[in-house]
Amino acid sequence: MEKRNDYKRYFKMTPKIYYRVLQTEGKLLNEMSNYYDGFVLEAHILEQFPKSLISFAITSEKPFFIDPTGKLSIPDSEKIVEKKWFKKILEAYKISEYFREEGILIEALRKNLARFAKATINYQRKTIKQKSGGVALFGISGDLEPEIILSPYFLITDLTSDIYQLNLKLLKKSLKYKGENKLYATICIEKHLLFSRKIEKVISDFTIKGVDGYCVWIANFREAEEDHVTLEKFVDFLKKLSNTGKPVINLFGGAFSVFLGKLGLLDKVVHGIGYGEYRDPYVSATGFAPMRYYLPGIFSFVPISVAQELISELPELECKCKFCKEAKNIKPELLKKHYIASRWKEKQKSFKDLFNDLQKVIRRLEQKNLFEPYWNNLRHLKNWEKVL
């Protein structure tokens, strides 16, 4: 695998930071508008909370795009089939009759892919304007068109499966309806496929004339928990994908993806505020993310108690951002602002400086013999150093 020295020409590059927006986060993101580049709306949340998300979208001056079928990608639809938003999306995409509790009726859907592709693209292209309800009357204006359009997609578990072929056909159908929009092919695969000998075929299959870029979702890929071999496979996959000359977006990434963006492998890194650096399509969210502290010195979240212990052992890990300085007690909003500011600071640094920070903290943790007692919270550092 090529190491960082082969990427010297990319050392001044940096990825754009995009946030997935929950219905309660518009005000916070507007307050932190200088700390990120754009945002992503998920169709299922947009259908549940249209007023709050539309209000944010029309007042924000940031570019955005819509993730159209992320929640439809799950193999078992039984968990969501009774949800009101699920029914609304199926109706909007004109595929209500092709879903059952046991999953997708592939044969029936295959016969109507053009209708599905067209409806999904129209949803992304027009839904914000349609749902905004004449906001121009109130002096609100702005570009309500998404920055890019995503091809509809389903989770690929097997490269020889009907679902794999379905994704390819959906992409080809989508190209017919892209118009003047930029269309990104969405590659949503299970993690084990990174080890497949056929993974290069995925790239060649999805490299179709008219595709303007790629969105990648490696299911349940956890940057801070994967071993170095899996991380290397991920980097190798992105390297080959970026060699197509098209921009690549990681739909669920974190600090490791920021490093990779600085090596020219990612154009954008997407995540939520304090969550969403990975997503397991087999698990349904049951509530808000637990309170954790993003410890910038180790590029990762840890329980608040662990953060306090590590800072006590290694005082230079203490964050000096204004939000941490102003915090008299721990509040969820301050934790979110701290996280947003920390990620933005990572973006501002060069790869060289960020990698030096990584190596420096590893040496200090070794000197203090902290790896063994906190191995589960720190192991990613050595894996990242080995891979980067």
- On the CB side of 144, CA atoms within 13 Å amount to 21
Cα pseudo-dihedral 230, 231, 236, 241, rounded to 10: 100
Which CATH number is associated with domain 4-134+143-271? 3.20.20
Which residues does 114 contact at the CB level (< 8 Å), separation at least 6?
173, 176
Q: Rounded to whole angstroms, what are the CA distances from 62 to 86, 121, 150, 163, 247?
A: 27, 21, 18, 34, 19
Q: What is the pLDDT of residue 328?
A: 61
> How many Å apart are CA 242 and CA 384, to the nearest integer?
20
> Which whole-number Å values give the CA distances from 309 to 30, 191, 225, 288, in the listed order?
33, 33, 21, 25
Q: What are the residues whose beta carbons fall under 8 Å from the beta carbon of 131, sequence distance 6 or more? A: 46, 50, 54
- Show me where the domains of the chain are located: 4-134+143-271, 293-387
pLDDT at 1: 45
Q: Tens of pLDDT along 60-117?
A: 989 999 999 888 876 556 667 777 888 899 899 998 888 877 677 888 888 899 999 9
What pLDDT, in 10s, does the model give residues 104-114? 788 888 889 99
Determine contact, residues 267/13, Cβ cutoff 8 Å: no
Q: What is the C-alpha separation between 359 and 365, in angstroms, rounded?
A: 10
pLDDT tens profile 178-203: 999 999 999 999 999 999 999 999 99
Kindly give the interhelix angle for 375-387 and 255-262, rounded to the nearest 10 degrees: 10
Q: What is the pLDDT of residue 79?
A: 65
pLDDT for res 288: 61
Q: Distances in Å between the alpha carbon of 301 and those of 148, 263, 298? A: 30, 23, 8
Could you tell me which of 268, 71, 88 has the C-alpha nearest to residue 184?
268
SS3 state of residue 78: helix
What's the pTM? 0.94
Task: Note the pLDDT of residue 361.
Answer: 98
* Contact in structure between 101 and 74 (CB atoms under 8 Å): no
Which portions of the chain are predicted below pLDDT 70?
1-12, 74-79, 102, 133-143, 285-290, 327-328
Percent of the chain with pLDDT over 90: 75
